[in-house]
Amino acid sequence: MSDHRIKGVSLTGSEAAGASIAAEAGKHLKKSVLELGGSDAFIVLEDADIDKAVEWAVVGRINNNGECCIASKRFIAVEEIADTFFEKLQHKFANLVVGDPMDSKTELGPLCNVEAAVHIADQVKRAVSGGAKIALGGKRMDQAGAYMEATVLTNMLPDNPVYYEEFFGPVAVFFKVKNEQAAIDLANDSPFGLGGSVFTQDIERGKRVADQIDTGMVFINHPTWTQADLPFGGTKGSGYGRELSELGIYEFVNKKLIRVSELSDPF
């Protein structure tokens, strides 16, 4: 970082790595952009299309076998439709096709390595020890490779030792809440602020809810996603700055002002 040729640094990684990079960049007065962890909330309101919400919930959570910073991780449903959503979500998770990631029929493959599978299985154990309930799955699969069962946890309360941790794998945490405001409050009760989703058939309502969620990105009727023309980045422990789009380009552009004045112009 001390090399004068380095003008800035961008990191995608853990909070610990981000803090280290930010400290080093600051010491040398270099610009930094950090994209760190995430624990995206997936809010389902009572007027949502439940079947579509379930379809996108599976995509949002199982994408890349759950090893994705912007994966949907906390599923928050208002009480009017919570049981229906929960039952359908469990059914989808229970029937995922597990296998070789190179097989086009596979819906859930192994994690990146055995260490990652051991880590998330241990997280689930710690969650259960802290009072969470396993509705589905909960352990590594009895087969060769870094496979973890598609897992759904409930009864996750703030005093649970893993309540504020990121689950980087195929583990969904489900919450039933009283109403819209409770869903917003729960979505914001996280040290992370990368992305989030709101499912409702009332788009203006969706915008209003999205505006109250403290994250860098909120998608309405779709899990958080990334594409080249959309700015990507978070708030809080998820880092700062933006990647992609025009905003991402300008993160590492020094803007210079050149003003031409006539000699007779006043200062």
Is a pLDDT exceeding 70 seen at residue 267?
no
Mean pLDDT of 204-209: 98
Identify the CATH number of the domain defined by range 40-220.
3.40.309.10
pLDDT reading at 120 higher than 90? yes
Q: How many other C-beta atoms can be found within 10 angstroms of the C-beta atom of residue 9?
A: 17
Q: Which residues of the chain are in CATH 3.40.309.10 domains?
A: 40-220
208, 194 in Cβ contact below 8 A?
no
Which residue type, as a one-letter code, is found at position 139?
K
Burial zone of 83 (CB within 10 Å; 0-12 exposed, 13-18 middle, 19+ buried): exposed
Residues serving a catalytic function are 35, 69
Which is it for strands 196-199 and 219-220: parallel, antiparallel or unpaired?
parallel
* Global pTM value: 0.95
pLDDT of amino acid 263: 74
Mean pLDDT of the chain: 96
pLDDT for position 242: 97
Name the 3-class secondary structure at 51. helix
pLDDT in the model for residue 74: 98
Sign of CA pseudo-dihedral 113, 38, 240, 22: negative
